[in-house]
Every structure is written in structure tokens, then in C-alpha cells.
């Protein structure tokens, strides 16, 4: 990874549209990254595997006593052999659900990577924006069992509610980091942590924080949730015997997404704050848009116009023209409808540029990590800008003519990336786009 | 029926296991909160374990009386005897 130091003046004058006055607003930069993924714990392991195009998807092994043949889908992007005590000492990490443990481990790495000495920061100027789609599903299943099967409601563990709540992770991050600033958990299913990045930037731009920990996590590969996605006919079922081939965005033979789990954390900081401490800057978070299609709880609008609108809004917010975009980290879950709609939207926004922009699908490597997906995609955007390398889209060996674009490749692409777009869409008709830029003074 | 000494040791052992401490460091006079460092939630978690260990249910009304290790032992002694 290349690393360069922040230099130059802090602020720039920004016109925010005819209805708003020009204002000096802090720019937001990414100064630290942390990953817990099916491709490894740690950014280095993750990125090396991603560059090499390795799959993190394997035969499902998480359900110890369940007859796996009863599940239509039998593959998942699991984080194997994870023990939080290996990474974090102390009782707090042991007393939270697996998804929050993932968030804590990713955040510990990201803080260390940023070089921040959090004990020297004003704690009220350090915030947390956390995306989580499902929350503490592991503890939820365990305790449902006690109540409904064992009929022992008085034997539900006392620490159940503090673990199952969606904001348990953002609370644990605040306690771990001593972060007393704005602390919000965003739950918009699969787009949750893309919003976490966008809202972290907005907190910094609004002057409410100097540093915001933007994180996303989910660990819901548990029988009930998995069965629920199976029942929804959302998961891949035809590659149960060849797991690494199951997540195949944009491929003609894609047949649903692969469930994943993990966490990603980005340290976002005002440029001024990063410069003062001479921090390394991966990229700038330059724009963000959040919309809702108001259309359907699960299925996107087939014409892709609302997704196109979301991307256009984010580009305007970043003051970037479509022709300046070099790379799109697509939502691309490998579902038959979703991938086509996203490409339709990309064609609509980018016109001729759609044939030149590089596009990849991180879910081809990890499966769909739900609430972590946006943060992990944001990390990929930062690393892609930093390294000038676009990781392969796995299994793009039989392109669907309705999705095919020249910028999608089963091989790694080396090219400089000045502007990157992150797309993330969630159940409930929810859309998010985040724009990253190479940091230039 | 367990003797007082057996029961006291079982209570201290349950505490030691929960707190990941040597059982010899836990004294009957230790206050659960002030001496052993339990907070309101971890005190309840400890009682949850003790309920399972001694097969009793501790009603909410009895909680305020359980301040020290000795209180817990005496309480369980009464409950086990009643049973």
C-alpha cells in the first residue's frame, strides 16, 4: 500500500447549491481501516486475498446440530475460528454478541492504523456511526430456544437485552474508545454502514466531531436468519457443492446471494485534524446521498431510476461529474434482479462513460455481509484509490449480457483511481451512495 | 442436605468461577459490589448462575438482602432447608 502525508491548506470554499450559501465546511478524510472478514482478520490479510481474487465462501459449518440438508442454501462467507479474546482483553468484549465483537476488533485495528491516541483527544469530539442490519442474532437464537423450546423464561440470561439491541455495538465501541461524541446506530438492512460513512462525514462537516468511527457489522449466519433468507428465495442454492463459485455477481448463472458476516471500520477525520497530527490519508469522503424508492420492501424498481437518482445526488454533493468517476464498488449481491437494475442505473447516469468506468463486486469475495457490507465496500474504495488496483470480481466467467460492461473483470485491474463510488441498497427500498476521492490538497 | 461449610464453599466457588479468581481470595464478608467489583448487572448475572447451581429461584424482593457473600450463603441455606 502506498502511503502519503496530508499537506496543504485545510479548508476550501464550497458552493452547496443555489438555495444554500457558500460555506467553509471541514473536509472529511479516511485515516484508518480495520477489517474482520471471511478472508481474514486484518486489512492486510483481507486486501491481499481480495487482490488475488480468493473466495471467502465455504460450505456452511456454523450450525452444529442442524441437518444441513434441510437448508436450501448450504454455503456462506463465514469468519472461521474467531475468538475475540485473541484480539481484545477485558470483560467488555466477552459480554457482547458476535457482531459487536467483530466491530470491536475491526475498530481496534482501524484506530491503531490511524495513529490516533484517543486518550489525548477531546472525548466529546470523537463520535461513532455504526451500521448494523440484524444485530445480536446469535444470542437471540440461543435465548429464544430457552423460552420457546425449554419453556424457561426465567432462564433467559440477564445480559440478553444489552447484547441483542442493535446499538450494543456502537455502545461497546464508545466504551472501548472513550468516545463521548455523537453516537448513532443506523439500521437500513444491507445499506446500513454506507449510511454510517455518509453520516459520519456529515457529523464532521457540521462541526459536531473531529473524529468519527464509521463502522458496520453483522454476524447473523444462524439457523433462523439463514432459514429466513432461504425462505425468501434470496440465497444461492445451485452451488452448494462448489461454494467458491456461489457468489457470482453479473454472471449469467447467478442465482441469489451468499450470506456473509464480518465487520469493517473506517476512521473518518476532519482534514484539519488529520493534518495537525500529520496523519496518513487513504482518501477523502467527498459526497453522500440517501434516498428511498418508496416502492417495495425487497425488490428494487426495475427501471433503476431511483438508484440512478441516488448516484447523481451523491455526485452533485461531491461536486464531481460522472465523467470524473473511475471506479464503482457495486452493491452487486449476485441476485438475478438486483445486478441488472444496478447496471441499468449505472448506464443511465454514466452514459458512454459506463463502458470506461471500472466496476467490481466485493460480495463476489465475501458473500453479502449485510450491515457490514457498506463499511467493507468503503474500505475497498479507500484501498483501491490508495493502491490503484481494482480487485477481481470472482466468477465473472460467463457474463450476463444484461449486466456486462467492459469495466467488470474477473482479473485484477491496475489503474489510477481518482474518484470512486460506493453503492449500497437495502431492504425497505433503501439506497445509499458514497463518493470517495483521492486526497489532493 | 448440604452442610453450611459445603454450601459456603459452593457459593464461593461459583463466585470464583464467575469472576475468574482463585476461590481462596473470596471471603464471606466480601460485599458483592464494593469488594468483588460486581455492578448491578453482573450481580444479577451471578445470581442467575447461583439459581441454576442451587436449583432455586430468587424473587426480586429478596435481592436487596444479598449484599455480602455470607448473605448469599445464609439465604441459600434457608432456601435449601425449606425445600
DSSP letter for each residue of B26-52? --TT-BTTTTT---HHHHHHHHHHHHH
Asked if B39 is an interface residue toward chain A (Cβ–Cβ < 8 A), one would say: no
Asked if B60 is an interface residue toward chain A (Cβ–Cβ < 8 A), one would say: no
* Active-site residue, A230 included: no
Model confidence at A67, pLDDT cuts 50, 70, 90, reads confident
Chain B contact set for A157 (CB, 8 A): 45, 48
What are the domain boundaries of chain A? 26-437
Model confidence at A441, pLDDT cuts 50, 70, 90, reads confident
pLDDT averaged over every residue in chain B: 91
Interface of A with B in 162-181 (CB under 8 A): 162
Q: What share of chain A is helix, strand, coil (3-state, %, to 5)?
A: 40, 20, 40
Model confidence at B34, pLDDT cuts 50, 70, 90, reads very high
User: What is the rounded (10 degree) CA torsion for A298, A300, A301, A304?
Assistant: 180
Q: Whole-prediction pTM value? A: 0.92
Q: What is the pLDDT of residue A23?
A: 57
Query: Are the Cβ atoms of A157 and B57 closer than 8 angstroms?
Result: no
Query: Are the Cβ atoms of B45 and A159 closer than 8 angstroms?
Result: yes
Chain A contact set for B52 (CB, 8 A): 155
Q: What is the pLDDT of residue A20?
A: 41
Q: What is the pLDDT of residue A16?
A: 41
Please give the interface size between A and B, counted as residue pairs whose CB atoms are below 8 Å apart.
13
Kindly name the residue from A195, A273, A309, A368 that is annotated as catalytic. A368
Handedness of CA A334, A338, A339, A342 (dihedral sign): negative
pLDDT averaged over every residue in chain A: 94
Q: Using CA atoms, how far apart are residues A257 and A335, in angstroms rounded to an integer?
A: 6
Q: What is the pLDDT of residue B38?
A: 93
- Nearest-CA distance from B45 to chain A in Å? 6
Class of domain A26-437: alpha beta
Asked if A157 is an interface residue toward chain B (Cβ–Cβ < 8 A), one would say: yes
Q: Is residue A26 over pLDDT 90?
A: yes
CB A203 within 8 A of CB A382: no
**b/e sequence A351-387, b meaning 16+ C-beta within 10 Å:** eebbeebbbbbbbbbbbbbbbbbbbbbbbbbbbbbbb
Asked if B63 is an interface residue toward chain A (Cβ–Cβ < 8 A), one would say: no
Chain B contact set for A152 (CB, 8 A): none
Range of the structural domain that residue B14 is part of: 4-82
Please give the tally of structural domains in chain B.
1
Model confidence at B82, pLDDT cuts 50, 70, 90, reads confident
Q: Is residue A9 over pLDDT 90?
A: no
Nearest to A417 by CA among A373, A378, A385, A372: A385
Q: What is the pLDDT of residue A344?
A: 98
Q: Is residue A191 over pLDDT 50?
A: yes
Supply angle C-alpha A98, A103, A107, rounded to 5. Answer: 150
Asked if B44 is an interface residue toward chain A (Cβ–Cβ < 8 A), one would say: yes
Q: Using CA atoms, how far apart are residues A198 and A200, in angstroms rounded to an integer?
A: 5
* Active-site residue, A403 included: no
The three grid cell numbers given for residue A99, joined into one nine-digit string: 457482531
CB-nearest partner of A158 from B41, B52, B57: B41
Residue B57 sits in a domain whose CATH number is: 1.10.1200.10
Task: Please state the rounded mean pLDDT for residues A189-196.
Answer: 98
Amino acid at each position: 500500500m502506498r502511503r502519503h502525508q496530508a499537506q496543504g491548506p485545510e479548508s476550501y470554499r464550497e458552493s452547496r447549491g443555489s438555495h444554500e450559501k457558500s460555506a467553509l465546511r471541514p473536509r472529511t478524510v479516511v485515516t484508518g481501516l480495520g477489517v474482520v472478514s471471511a478472508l481474514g482478520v486484518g486489512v492486510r490479510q483481507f486486501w491481499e486475498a481480495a487482490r488475488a481474487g480468493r473466495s471467502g465462501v465455504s460450505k456452511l459449518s456454523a450450525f452444529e446440530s442442524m441437518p444441513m440438508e434441510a437448508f436450501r442454501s448450504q454455503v456462506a462467507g463465514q469468519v472461521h475460528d474467531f475468538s475475540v479474546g485473541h484480539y481484545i482483553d477485558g470483560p467488555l468484549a466477552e459480554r457482547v454478541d458476535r457482531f459487536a465483537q467483530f466491530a470491536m476488533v475491526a475498530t481496534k485495528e482501524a484506530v491503531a492504523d490511524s495513529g490516533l491516541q484517543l486518550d489525548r483527544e477531546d472525548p466529546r469530539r470523537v463520535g461513532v456511526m455504526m451500521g448494523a442490519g440484524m444485530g445480536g442474532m446469535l444470542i437471540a437464537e440461543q435465548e429464544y430456544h430457552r423460552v420457546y423450546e425449554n419453556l424457561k423464561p426465567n432462564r433467559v440470561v440477564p445480559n440478553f437485552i444489552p447484547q441483542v439491541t442493535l446499538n450494543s455495538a456502537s455502545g461497546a465501541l464508545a466504551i472501548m474508545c472513550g468516545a463521548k461524541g455523537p453516537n448513532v446506530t443506523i439500521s437500513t438492512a444491507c445499506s446500513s454502514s454506507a449510511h454510517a460513512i455518509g453520516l459520519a462525514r456529515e457529523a464532521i462537516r457540521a462541526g459536531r466531531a473531529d473524529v468519527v468511527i464509521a463502522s458496520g457489522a453483522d454476524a447473523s449466519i444462524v439457523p433462523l436468519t439463514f432459514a429466513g433468507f432461504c425462505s425468501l428465495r434470496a440465497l444461492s442454492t445451485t452451488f452448494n457443492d462448489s461454494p467458491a463459485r456461489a457468489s457470482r455477481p453479473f454472471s449469467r448463472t447467478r442465482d441469489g446471494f451468499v450470506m456473509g458476516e464480518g465487520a469493517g471500520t473506517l476512521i473518518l477525520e476532519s482534514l484539519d485534524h488529520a493534518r495537525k497530527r500529520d496523519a496518513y490519508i487513504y482518501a477523502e469522503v467527498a459526497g453522500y446521498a440517501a434516498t428511498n424508492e418508496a416502492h417495495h420492501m425487497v425488490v428494487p424498481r426495475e427501471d433503476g431510476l431511483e438508484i440512478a437518482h441516488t448516484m447523481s445526488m451523491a455526485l452533485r454533493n461531491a461536486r464531481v461529474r460522472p465523467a470524473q468517476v473511475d471506479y464503482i464498488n457495486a452493491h452487486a449481491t449476485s441476485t438475478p434482479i438486483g445486478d441488472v437494475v444496478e447496471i441499468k442505473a449505472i448506464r443511465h447516469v454514466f452514459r458512454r462513460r459506463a463502458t470506461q468506468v471500472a466496476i467490481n463486486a466485493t460480495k463476489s469475495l465475501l458473500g453479502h455481509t449485510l450491515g457490514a457490507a457498506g463499511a467493507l465496500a468503503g474500505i475497498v474504495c479507500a484501498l483501491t484509490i490508495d493502491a490503484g488496483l481494482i480487485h477481481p470480481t470472482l466468477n465473472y466467467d460467463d457474463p450476463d449480457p444484461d449486466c456486462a460492461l467492459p469495466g467488470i473483470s474477473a482479473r485484477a485491474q491496475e489503474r489510477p483511481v481518482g474518484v470512486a463510488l460506493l453503492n449500497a441498497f437495502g431492504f425497505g427500498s433503501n439506497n445509499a451512495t458514497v463518493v470517495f476521492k483521492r486526497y489532493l490538497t | 442436605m448440604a452442610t453450611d461449610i459445603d454450601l459456603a464453599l459452593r457459593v464461593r466457588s461459583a463466585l470464583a468461577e464467575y469472576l475468574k479468581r482463585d476461590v481462596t481470595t473470596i471471603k464471606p464478608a466480601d460485599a458483592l459490589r464494593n469488594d468483588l467489583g460486581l455492578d448491578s448487572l453482573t450481580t444479577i448475572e451471578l445470581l442467575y448462575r447461583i439459581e441454576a447451581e442451587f436449583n432455586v429461584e430468587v424473587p426480586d424482593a429478596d435481592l436487596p438482602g444479598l449484599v455480602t457473600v455470607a448473605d448469599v450463603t445464609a439465604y441459600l441455606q434457608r432456601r435449601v432447608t425449606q425445600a
